[in-house]
Every structure is written in structure tokens, then in C-alpha cells.
Amino acid sequence: MNHYIKIFLITLLFANANAGELYDDAINRGIDETCSTYLSQIEKSYKLQGLNLTFAHPKEPSLFPSLHISSQQYNNGASIFSATLIPDGNYCYLSTVNVTSVNNQSCAEITQIKTNKDPELIISNYADGAFSIISSKNNDYQLVLTKTGDIACTITETRMLWPGS
């Protein structure tokens, strides 16, 4: 039990939660400037406006990876966005995960909407349609759709960016 209490206290020490912008929090915490700029662009692209949480190194946040999480609630579901920023000189390596739970559309409906918008998407189905993977033609992202009910679906979008490489 003491082990869990220690982990919780350490987490509180290195994390900061707020309802402001991820970018502002990153700047205030001393996150690398290049990484903070990338985070700002991502935040605008995804229109993140929820409860935010930042994990950063307590003494040298500009030198070490940081984790940024934003959680939003909608009238038909919720989403959790996560970005890991890894500074490297003038570059910042970045991975993102965005999980959205939708309570009023099936995965098949969401797949149809996506393929109507971009007919070049690559669709793979698994476990009798319980899971679908949607990939872009250039494989710069993937969506994993998980059936969570007759008219409910969880969408997990993953991306990895290697600027400068």
C-alpha cells in the first residue's frame, strides 16, 4: 500500500493539471521551445480544449521527454489526446495518441464516412469486424476502430513524427 502512495505523490510532484492550453503550460513548465511550438500547432489542429495534464522533468524539463494529455467530453462521447515530446537539439520528436469514444455511431458508419472523404484509405478488418484498422496511403497515421456496442465505437489515432530525419 505504501508503494502506491509513493507513486501517487511522485506523480503529483512531476505533473500539473489545468484547464488552460497545453502550449501555455509547456512554456510555463520550461519545456523545450521547439517542442512547445510543435505542441501549439497540434493543439490548434486537434482543437484541444479540455482538462490538461503535463508531466515534465522537475529540474531540466527542456532536456528530457515530456508527456501532455488533454481530455474532452462531448454530448455523444469523450476523447483523450496524448503527446510525447522528445527534444533533440533543434528538433523535437513527437508521438501522439488520440482516443475518441463515440456513443451514437457504429464503427462501420465511421469507416464509411472516412472512406467517402478519402477513397484511398486502406481498410483491414479483424475478429469478425470487432476491430478495423484504417491507414492512409502514405502510412503517416493509423486509426484503430474498436466496436464497443451496436452503435458505439472507440477510435484510436496514432502518429509518430521524426522532424529532421
Neighbours of 76 (CB within 10 A): 10
Cβ neighbours of residue 5 under 8 Å, at least 6 residues apart?
Answer: none
> For residue 96, is it within any domain?
no
> For residue 140, is it within any domain?
yes
Question: For residue 14, what pLDDT is reported?
Answer: 43
The total number of structural domains in the chain stands at 2
Question: For residue 72, what pLDDT is reported?
Answer: 92
Domain ends where: 43, 58, 86? 86
> For residue 98, is it within any domain?
no
Kindly state whether residues 29 and 107 are assigned to the same domain. no
Kindly tell me if the per-residue pLDDT of 122 is higher than 50. Answer: yes
Residue 28 structural domain: 1-86
Domain ends where: 43, 61, 86? 86
Give 20's pLDDT tier (boundaries 50, 70, 90).
low
Instruction: Answer for the pair 83, 53: CB distance below 8 angstroms, yes or no.
Output: no
Kindly state whether residues 118 and 73 are assigned to the same domain. no
Question: For residue 27, what pLDDT is reported?
Answer: 87
Give 4's pLDDT tier (boundaries 50, 70, 90).
very low
Kindly state whether residues 108 and 81 are assigned to the same domain. no
Kindly state whether residues 8 and 81 are assigned to the same domain. yes
Torsion of CA 97, 103, 106, 112, to 10 degrees: -60
> For residue 94, is it within any domain?
no
More confident of the two residues 104 and 141: 104
Kindly state whether residues 108 and 160 are assigned to the same domain. yes
Q: How do residues 71-80 score in pLDDT, each as one tens digit?
A: 999 899 999 9
Kindly tell me if the per-residue pLDDT of 125 is higher than 50. Answer: yes
> For residue 149, is it within any domain?
yes
Q: How do residues 37-92 score in pLDDT, each as one tens digit?
A: 988 888 888 888 888 888 999 999 999 999 999 999 989 999 999 999 999 988 99
> For residue 162, is it within any domain?
yes
How far apart are alpha carbons 155 and 153 in whole angstroms?
6
Question: 131-159 burial, b if ≥16 CB within 10 A, otherwise e?
Answer: ebebeeeeeeebbbbbbbeeebbbbbbee
pTM: 0.80
Question: For residue 143, what pLDDT is reported?
Answer: 96
Domain ends where: 41, 57, 86? 86
Question: For residue 8, what pLDDT is reported?
Answer: 39
